[in-house]
Structure 1
């Protein structure tokens, strides 16, 4: 703890890159956040429920450029709390989240360039409609990966939506429910965009929709 405080004093106003893992000291993280440092990057590979969740909103600072969260929970899916990623994060360039349920309905990140959302759960509050609403606010996106595993395809069914123009898009990868929802048909981009589908196995009678 003392080493953390001394290190922060030496850094003064220098940008902070946080790397959080299972050995996280909550006292040390509190010291960093209380110091009001300029946090530009957070990369966390950590059990979400036990450690990072209480600090999550405090990590979403206006200076944040990169947020990479690979989380795991011990609870059953129906007991897992949704993590809200929200606020006007105008400096954010990269958002990668996997392994936990999130909501992005109240997130504004108009300068976002790289987006990856993967939720290995049958329960999700993120629908195809909310994804389109979010993409409409991120016209600078270059790479997109969206893979929300769900047995309830109607959860991601889309109503009408205005076409979304992503002029800088270079590649997009989608999961099964996103393919079935027809999400990609609402996106407009330059020719030559690489399109991929996360591998999934289905019955032979569903062959026309099969992805590899």
Structure 2
């Protein structure tokens, strides 16, 4: 072990390194209702932490997962048990945008895979998978198809056949034992559904989905 970071007073639900500025920033979200920003400096692993505390004192309002991105200034995206997604300014530790639409806990959030992708993905206990526009603060699409909690969301790093742009493909993982791939331009039907992760399924993905 290189370093122990102490500070949270309850369980940690999500951690994420910022891919920007050499990965010097680590964010952690906790059931203690705070997000902590840790600034790492090599070689001595100097640590600085800053708390971002939710102003709502509702005991059910707990952090579930976080996402991080850099741009003109660093921002943090958090999903919470209060059914919202919030964007925070790291320099001021203040919220500057809030996304509402989910009807239950937000379990996972993910920023676009690059600075040019101004979207956020979210998955929730309400069984939905949603796409949001960071600039307008509006919901772009809601994807329904899972029959249980959506617990993981991602921008796939590969290109799927017959898809003109990799950035159009997103995926969601659920407690219904499926992983589903979607086209952000349509919320009508999944591109692919993976029902189980056995060897044959993985071989199918490699042979048929990747270009």
Structure with larger Rg: 1
Structure having the higher strand fraction is 2
Q: TM-score, normalised by structure 1?
A: 0.27
Q: TM-score, normalised by structure 2?
A: 0.28
Structure having the higher helix fraction is 1
